[in-house]
Amino acid sequence: MIPSARSDTRRVKIAVAAAGISSFALLYAPQPVLPQLAEQYHLDPGSASLAVSVATGALAVAVLPIAALSEVIGRRPIIIASVTLSVVFGLLLPFAPSYPLLLVLRALQGIAIAGFPGVASAYLVEKLGKTGVAAAVGAMIAGNTVGGMLGRLSAGFTAEAFGWHGALVVVAGVALVCSAVTVLALPGANRGPAGPGLRGVLTGIGAAVRRPVLLVQYTVALVAMGAFVAMYNTAGFRLTDEPLNLSPAIASLVFLAYAVGSVSSSNAGRLVARFGRPRAVLGGLTVMAGGVLLTLPDSLPLVVLGFVVLTGGFFAAHAVANGWAAAEAPEGARGQASGTYNLCYYLGSSIGGTLGSVVFARAGWSWLVVAVVVWLALAGFAVVGLRGSRTRARAAEAA
């Protein structure tokens, strides 16, 4: 690689990592302060969880239209607008005079954030080509993971000293620095061939939702993410209420479990090579269920261990399912398959996070655990059903 190309690649990696940190720190920043929001606005956990679910739901709805828009105006302008506007909304959030207005700002912020995950992969392919994109994708995923963890930890650690308003300001300040790095470092993308047009996009979406193997991966994304966020949305209530009675700062340390997720997702390829995709996804879902069950006793070590196990299982299942969807996507519809997977992933965060919080508020932690385990079992049955249908298809061909 010539020096100028190497320098360009380094700039791209720095820029997308910073954008990932900014976007995902802002997206999940309210999660550790949901108990404080509930207390101030006199909300139950289900209503408080809307501060997370509204943003992820808006992101899910916006990701495909924004990806289509990038075909017209280019990838870099979308990414720059995404990181800039999401920070602006992040700075406005702490000053919202009412909870409904806070939710409106969160919805707008979710739409703004959608610009980054919606077009980042296409930008990297256009800029670096298929051979140079792997390292940059790794930097982007690392930024996403670090951002999700950093936003939660920053908010959780500062909420006790500054209140939830100050905590969100701190996260917005971190995101502002990262977004400035992205604006300054992100090079313009090399324009690819002309987009397929609206008819071509719709045809690709149709192809992406007709294959049973892809529908199963979308189901895994929807259900597994919903279960994962349901547990983390209610984690603050579980850890700060009787009988554990942790302070918000100490309770936020549970988000360090995300580090385990980085390890499990990076080893997903080894799981696939050894066990195959169906068994790897089933294994991840089973580990998730085991982690959820570990949180049942009123024992802090077991609850913490449960979240660690849950997180490791989730990121392994997600990484395998995401790769499986990409590998099985029809030629000419890979972008639409990726967008549909992301839509289901964030829709799961929105729906599952809210439903789980409602179950917890009305029936308690034990029933939340039951609900989440049932959801994961349904996703597992979908994968098993796919394996069975493929086995029958091969037997029919042999006959």
Question: Do residues 254 and 381 share a domain?
Answer: yes
Burial 198-219 (b: 16+ CB within 10 A, else e): eeebeebbebbeebebbbbbbb
List CB contacts of 195: < 8 A, sequence separation 6 or more: 68, 71, 72, 201
45 near 360, Cβ under 8 Å? yes
Which pLDDT belongs to residue 319?
82
Question: Do residues 358 and 243 share a domain?
Answer: yes
Which pLDDT belongs to residue 371?
96
Question: Do residues 155 and 212 share a domain?
Answer: no
Question: Do residues 156 and 267 share a domain?
Answer: no
Question: Do residues 179 and 234 share a domain?
Answer: no
- C-alpha angle with apex 306: 300 to 311, nearest 5 degrees? 130
Question: Do residues 191 and 209 share a domain?
Answer: no
Which pLDDT belongs to residue 281?
92
Of 195, 218, 237, the one marking the end of a domain is 195
Lowest-pLDDT range of 308-317, 351-360, 379-388: 379-388
Q: Is 184 left (phi over 0), alpha (psi -120 to 50) or beta?
A: alpha
List CB contacts of 32: < 8 A, sequence separation 6 or more: 152, 153, 155, 156, 159, 167, 236, 248, 251, 252, 255
Question: Do residues 22 and 159 share a domain?
Answer: yes
Distance CA 202, CA 204 (A): 5
What mean pLDDT is predicted for residues 78-94? 95
- Asked if omega into 187 is within 30° of 0 (cis), the reply is no
Most confident of the ranges 59-68, 271-280, 352-361: 352-361
Of 131, 164, 195, the one marking the end of a domain is 195
Lowest-pLDDT range of 211-220, 225-234, 290-299, 380-389: 380-389
Lowest-pLDDT range of 60-69, 133-142, 158-167: 133-142
Question: Do residues 147 and 171 share a domain?
Answer: yes
Lowest-pLDDT range of 56-65, 140-149, 293-302: 140-149
The full length of the chain comes to 399
Which pLDDT belongs to residue 249?
83
Most confident of the ranges 16-20, 45-49, 84-88, 272-276: 84-88
The verdict on pTM exceeding 0.85 is no
13 near 143, Cβ under 8 Å? no
Question: Do residues 272 and 181 share a domain?
Answer: no
What mean pLDDT is predicted for residues 304-318? 92
What mean pLDDT is predicted for residues 257-274? 80
Residue 283 has pLDDT above 60, yes or no: yes
The rounded mean pLDDT for the chain is 84
Q: Is 213 left (phi over 0), alpha (psi -120 to 50) or beta?
A: alpha
Tell me how many domains the chain contains: 2
What mean pLDDT is predicted for residues 222-235? 93
Distance CA 341, CA 67 (A): 13
Distance CA 145, CA 352 (A): 20
pLDDT digits (tens, 9 = 90+) for 90-128: 999 999 999 999 999 999 999 999 988 878 777 877 777
pLDDT class of 200 with cuts at 50, 70, 90: low
Task: Calculate the CA 271 to chain-centre distance.
Answer: 21
Question: Do residues 12 and 149 share a domain?
Answer: yes
Question: Do residues 136 and 276 share a domain?
Answer: no
- What range defines the domain where residue 322 resides? 204-399
What mean pLDDT is predicted for residues 72-86? 91
Question: Do residues 11 and 88 share a domain?
Answer: yes
* CATH at residue 16: 1.20.1250.20
Of 169, 195, 221, the one marking the end of a domain is 195
What mean pLDDT is predicted for residues 225-247? 91
What mean pLDDT is predicted for residues 363-372? 96
